[in-house]
Amino acid sequence: MGIVVDNLQRIREECEVLKMTDKQIKEIMCRLHNDLKKGLSRADHDKATVKCWITYIQDLPNGKERGKFLALDLGGTNFRVLIINLGENHFDMQSKIYAIPKHIMTGTGIALFDHIAECLANFMKEHGVYEERLALGFTFSFPLKQLGLTKGVLQRWTKGFSCSGVVGEDVVQGLKDAIARRGDVQIDICAILNDTTGTLMSCAWKNHNCKIGLIVGTGSNACYVEKTANCELFDGEPEKEELLINTEWGAFGDDGSLDFVRTEFDREVDVTSINPGKQIQEKMISGMYLGELVRLALVKFTRMGLLFGGQGSDLLFEGGSFYTKYVSEIESDKPGDFTSCMEVLEELGLSHASDADMAAVRYVCECVSRRAAHLVSAGIATLLNKMNEPRVTVGIDGSVYRFHPHFHTLMCEKIAQLVRPGLQFDLMLSEDGSGRGAALVAAVACREAEQGS
Amino acid sequence: MSKLCKQVSIESPGPTIKECVFSFDVPVPDVPLYGARIRVVYAGACYRANRTRSTSVCSTSSVSSIGSFTGEMDGYAHTTIPAHIGIRDGALFPGYEVAGIIDAIGKAAERTDELKEGARIVLYPYEGVPHGYAEYIVVPDFKCLVPIPDQLPLSIAAMLPTGALLAMNTVVSASECLKVALEGPAKKDKTTVLIVGTGGLALWALRLATYYFKREEYNDRISIAVATLKDEGFLLAKECEEVNVVQWNEDLYEKQLIERTTDACGGPVDVVLNFGTTSRSLHRSLQCLAPEGVVLVTEDVGERLLSKFAKKAEDLSVSVVVVPNGTIEQLKELVSLVARGDIEPPPHSVYPAEEAAEVVRKLCNSEIKGRAILKFHNVE
């Protein structure tokens, strides 16, 4: 039985590469801070990896937003169409989820927008607004260069999408064209926003200290309230002091600045992804990749003879088979209990796993999820230090944050260690970001349009 | 007497798909006194439900390897489900499906007009069916033979004895549960039925459910939804109009999938026809149910999972009901429904029996659209 203990010990040693020291984390924060500044500056923006796009949103919700709005939510887990009614201190919302089959995710842009428009039309029919001309907020969760509240150019696809003819084009126009092609429904103003923006706006509607919106889900990104003066690329009126910035920090590390903490597993995930060399930080944090990182480690240890008696299964060796939800399920077991772990391993054809194997699998999951939580925490702490506000609420959404049993706690602990003394923060689960948040942005767009004309 | 014919046995696939299909030569069996010998023309690709250690007829050279292998298989069959998509989805399921021609009839058997030498038949899977599909098999009892009308091709008939039959019995059970929901104390206005899986079983169930519910007076109070595990399933299921399709992408979290399902169905569902075979899909189905809802599962799934989920079902105020294989009367009804064209069979492909191993591998990976049929003889 000495051999068995040695295996677990050796696996722990092998997993040391997944741990970041405080020194390394501080170095990461330093590099991220510099990259944020580069993104905001006119001189360095084009070459910057962290783009810090202007969202053109300068007002957080004031509670006076009113009206009926439609919303679309594309880029998260579900494609959703929503209808929101903003009232005094209350709102009601109805939504429907529509499937996006893989062939549409990877086909032409025209097919994608036609599908979106069809779902929108069906929804409007079902909710009795088919004949109405409402304003719409489009939560579009991909790297977007906004040229205004109602115009945004797709920089690249992420998270498994790859529709042709959309990169470099105005997404709002793509949607408008598809709606025009149908000739049935009509939309008034169409605001476009990122899911982090929606998260922040939705949270800020409830909590006025909310100044950061964070997503840890299929992808990872953050937006925050910056001083207009710092945003050299802003070409609008300077009177308003604040401006919401979409960092697109998923691309942090694309220039190699994270290589000093990356492992062979990260490199393997990157090389076999649909976008190699891009979204490097995101690939260390988000749901699309966490499970795969664990799987690659398990494969390595199996081949070394340290796990499962050296015997894997067809599924273990198949890319993408270790779902990120398994990580959450395995870590939800009480310490010493391996019920969920055993079920997961059975699903993977690894029912011959021993207790020591299961302890090792759990350990690998913990290392990967902890590293993700620490990276996110480093990012949030960097933003908090940069903003230097005494009290900030961080609105958070995303499946990894929502469903992982310890992510929230890990983040609270780590951010507290890294943030400048005297700065207070708290983390709040933001709900309905793509619904309420999108409606709030659409309301702002309508207000501006009225004032403008 | 020592004439030989080919036999193909498909055992339950293990963790790696290799070597669960065995082909060997067996003697052509003698005709039993009260039974008949059948020339197998087509066989539905199913695996043998593993209840007892295999002592099947086989050539001596293969005995030792089969013996040890099935010993291993016994251990697996009772505790875990093989980890293949096709098995999870119901593309490959246990059963025995034979369509063929009566080759010879036993001296003491009760002949009828329909059942004589040369008649086209399917076999109702009785207790103790042969352990494999051989070119010639014998049935001890004439009564388990069901004649096939001329207009029904044998290749299609081969899909009926297990797959379609099980689906039919499940739909019948679902119908009864719905009656309770619609006419019983709850007197629900609208009910939803969710079919899980897009393998052969689920595809039959979708067609049968659509057919039977249309004939009920409360047809407009029942809506059908299909949960598909693969994208192709999405396209397949869309062929039936008025059916909601929910994508069960396995990479999503359970709560997300449940939300997606209840969203697509306009609320929690009343009956789930669960042809998925994993603990996970059963657990998920349970959580999609409205109070008093029912999940219907097949016998092999029920055997493995019923006790595990009894408490959970009780906590949720729902129930898991095991649906046995259908009756021979149901099989006869199925034959006439399909022969008349009232029910369209799901997509299916025919493969030579020699390719059985490759076919099983493809089914395990859900690479075949709909059912796979093995062809033994060139008869039609």
Sketch out chain A's domains with CATH numbers.
54-205+433-445 (3.30.420.40)
CB neighbour list of residue A42: distance below 8 Å, 6 or more residues apart = A232, A233
**Count of H-run helices and E-run strands, chain B:** 11, 16
Instruction: Decide if B59 is inside a domain.
Output: no
Residues B67-96: pLDDT tens digits?
333 333 333 333 456 667 777 777 788 889
Residue A190 CA to residue A144 CA, distance in Å, equals 15
Measure A170 CA to nearest chain B CA, in Å.
29
User: Using CB atoms, which residue from A314, A325, A346 is nearest to B254?
Assistant: A325
- A265 closest CA partner among A160, A363, A359, A368: A368
Measure A314 CA to nearest chain B CA, in Å.
6
> What tokens appear for B228 in the block?
């598909």
Q: Which of A335-349, A439-453, B8-22 has the highest mean pLDDT?
A: A335-349
Instruction: Decide if B54 is inside a domain.
Output: no
Amino acid at position A211, single letter: K
Measure A95 CA to nearest chain B CA, in Å.
8
Task: Tell me which of B89, B248, B249, B256 to substitute to probe the interface with A (most A C-beta atoms closer than 10 Å).
Answer: B256
Residue A441 CA to residue A202 CA, distance in Å, equals 10
How close are the terminal C-alpha atoms of chain A, in Å? 80
The answer, for A180 touching chain B at a CB cutoff of 8 Å, is: no
Q: Tell me: pLDDT of A88 over 70.
A: yes
Pairing of strands B371-375, B348-352: parallel
Q: Closest residue of B to A96, CA-based? A: B263
**Which H or E element spans position B145?**
strand B145-147
CB neighbour list of residue B257: distance below 8 Å, 6 or more residues apart = B248, B249, B284
- What φ, ψ does residue A55 adopt, rounded to 5°? -100, -10
Residue A123 CA to residue A130 CA, distance in Å, equals 8
In chain A, residues with a C-beta closer than 8 Å to the C-beta of B282 are none
In chain B, residues with a C-beta closer than 8 Å to the C-beta of A349 are 15-16, 82-83
Residue A218 CA to residue A323 CA, distance in Å, equals 12
The answer, for B312 touching chain A at a CB cutoff of 8 Å, is: no
Residue A61 CA to residue B45 CA, distance in Å, equals 61
pTM: predicted TM-score of the whole model, two decimal places? 0.86
Instruction: Decide if B379 is inside a domain.
Output: no
Same domain, B10 and B157: yes
In chain B, residues with a C-beta closer than 8 Å to the C-beta of A77 are 252, 256
Q: Tell me: pLDDT of B52 over 80.
A: no
Q: Tell me: pLDDT of A377 over 70.
A: yes
Specify whether the CB–CB gap between A237 and A178 falls below 8 A.
no
Residue B64 CA to residue A304 CA, distance in Å, equals 33
Instruction: Decide if B247 is inside a domain.
Output: yes
Same domain, B232 and B350: no
Residues B237-256: pLDDT tens digits?
666 667 888 888 888 999 99
Mean per-residue pLDDT for A74-90?
87
The answer, for B253 touching chain A at a CB cutoff of 8 Å, is: yes
Q: Tell me: pLDDT of B66 over 60.
A: no
In chain A, residues with a C-beta closer than 8 Å to the C-beta of B260 are 78, 97
Same domain, B237 and B353: no
pLDDT bucket at B60, cuts 50 / 70 / 90? very low
Contact A102 B79 (CB under 8 A): no
Contact A101 B259 (CB under 8 A): no
- B55 closest CA partner among B3, B4, B128: B128
Sign of the CA dihedral running A198, A201, A207, A211: positive
pLDDT bucket at B216, cuts 50 / 70 / 90? confident
The answer, for B246 touching chain A at a CB cutoff of 8 Å, is: yes
Pairing of strands B371-375, B36-44: antiparallel
Pairing of strands A210-216, A67-74: unpaired
pLDDT of residue B72: 35
Q: Tell me: pLDDT of A279 over 70.
A: yes
The answer, for B263 touching chain A at a CB cutoff of 8 Å, is: yes
Same domain, B309 and B210: yes
Mean per-residue pLDDT for A50-66?
91
Residue A237 CA to residue A246 CA, distance in Å, equals 19
Residues B33-48: pLDDT tens digits?
888 999 999 999 888 8
Measure B202 CA to nearest chain A CA, in Å.
20
Same domain, B154 and B206: no
Q: Closest residue of B to A321, CA-based? A: B251
Measure B264 CA to nearest chain A CA, in Å.
7
Same domain, B12 and B141: yes
Residues B299-344: pLDDT tens digits?
888 988 999 999 999 999 999 999 988 899 999 999 999 999 999 8
Instruction: Decide if B316 is inside a domain.
Output: yes
Same domain, B305 and B363: no
pLDDT of residue A119: 94
Residues B144-192: pLDDT tens digits?
899 999 999 999 999 999 889 999 999 999 999 998 888 888 788 889 9
- Kindly provide the residue ranges of all beta strands, DSSP E only, lying in A25-102, ordered along the sequence: 53-54, 67-74, 79-86, 91-98
pLDDT of residue B46: 87
pLDDT of residue A242: 94
The average confidence (pLDDT) of chain A is 94
pLDDT of residue B311: 93
Complex ipTM value? 0.88
Contact B264 A97 (CB under 8 A): yes
Instruction: Decide if B307 is inside a domain.
Output: yes
- Dihedral angle computed from the Cα positions of residues B289, B295, B301 and B305, in that order, rounded to the nearest 10 degrees: 50
Same domain, B33 and B44: yes
The answer, for B62 touching chain A at a CB cutoff of 8 Å, is: no
In chain A, residues with a C-beta closer than 8 Å to the C-beta of B251 are 291, 320, 323-325
pLDDT of residue A90: 82
pLDDT bucket at B113, cuts 50 / 70 / 90? confident
Contact A320 B251 (CB under 8 A): yes
Contact B80 A99 (CB under 8 A): no
Which residue segment(s) compose the domain that B136 sits in?
2-49+87-161+325-373
pLDDT of residue B64: 32
> Worst-scoring range by mean pLDDT, A168-182, B17-31, B77-91, B336-350?
B77-91
Residues A392-414: pLDDT tens digits?
999 999 999 999 999 999 999 99
Same domain, B313 and B331: no
Among residues B321, B342, B365, the one where a domain terminates is B321
Contact B280 A315 (CB under 8 A): no
Cross-strand pairs, A244: A225
Measure A399 CA to nearest chain B CA, in Å.
8
Contact B264 A351 (CB under 8 A): no
Q: Which of A159, A211, A283, A414 is catalytic?
A: A159
Residues A243-265: pLDDT tens digits?
999 999 999 999 999 999 999 99
In chain A, residues with a C-beta closer than 8 Å to the C-beta of B279 are 343, 346
Q: Tell me: pLDDT of B25 over 80.
A: yes
Among residues B321, B340, B364, the one where a domain terminates is B321
> How does DSSP assign A113-154, residue by residue?
HHHHHHHHHHHHHHTT-TT-EEEEEEEE-S-EEEEETTEEEE
Q: Tell me: pLDDT of A123 over 50.
A: yes
* Per-residue burial over A287-306, b = 16 or more CB atoms within 10 Å of its CB, e = otherwise: bbbbbbbbbbbbbbbbeeeb
% of chain B exceeding 70 in pLDDT: 86
Cross-strand pairs, A95: A82
Residue A194 CA to residue A223 CA, distance in Å, equals 9
Same domain, B184 and B308: yes
pLDDT of residue A233: 94
Residue B322 CA to residue B378 CA, distance in Å, equals 39
Measure A315 CA to nearest chain B CA, in Å.
7
Residue A210 CA to residue B241 CA, distance in Å, equals 46
Instruction: Output the domain CATH number for residue B188.
Output: 3.40.50.720
Among residues B285, B305, B321, the one where a domain terminates is B321
How big is chain B by its Cα radius of gyration, in Å?
Answer: 21
Establish whether A159 is a catalytic residue: yes
Specify whether the CB–CB gap between A407 and A429 falls below 8 A.
no
Establish whether A254 is a catalytic residue: no
Same domain, B208 and B117: no
Instruction: Decide if B70 is inside a domain.
Output: no
Specify whether the CB–CB gap between A116 and A175 falls below 8 A.
yes
Judge residue B352's burial from the number of C-beta atoms within 10 Å of its C-beta, 0-12 exposed, 13-18 middle, 19 or more buried. exposed
CB neighbour list of residue A356: distance below 8 Å, 6 or more residues apart = A4, A5, A7, A8
Pairing of strands B269-274, B243-247: unpaired
3-state SS of A356-400 is HHHHHHHHHHHHHHHHHHHHHHHHHHHHHHHHCCCEEEEEEECHH
Contact B234 A101 (CB under 8 A): yes
The answer, for B80 touching chain A at a CB cutoff of 8 Å, is: yes
User: Using CB atoms, which residue from B231, B253, B280 is nearest to A347?
Assistant: B280
Residue B50 CA to residue B74 CA, distance in Å, equals 7
Residue B6 CA to residue B23 CA, distance in Å, equals 7
Instruction: Output the domain CATH number for residue B26.
Output: 3.90.180.10
How close are the terminal C-alpha atoms of chain B, in Å? 27
Task: Tell me which of B252, B261, B283 to substitute to probe the interface with A (most A C-beta atoms closer than 10 Å).
Answer: B252
DSSP state at residue A227: E
Same domain, B24 and B150: yes
Contact B15 A78 (CB under 8 A): no
3-state SS of A198-213 is HHHHHHHHHCCCEEEE
Amino acid at position A261, single letter: V
Amino acid at position B130, single letter: P
Contact A99 B15 (CB under 8 A): no
Instruction: Decide if B69 is inside a domain.
Output: no
Contact B251 A325 (CB under 8 A): yes
Measure A337 CA to nearest chain B CA, in Å.
17
Q: Which of A114, A170, A195, A266 is catalytic?
A: A195
pLDDT bucket at A122, cuts 50 / 70 / 90? very high
In chain B, residues with a C-beta closer than 8 Å to the C-beta of A343 are 279-280
pLDDT of residue B185: 84
Total count of domains within chain B: 2
Cβ-based neighbour number of residue B256 at 10 Å: 19
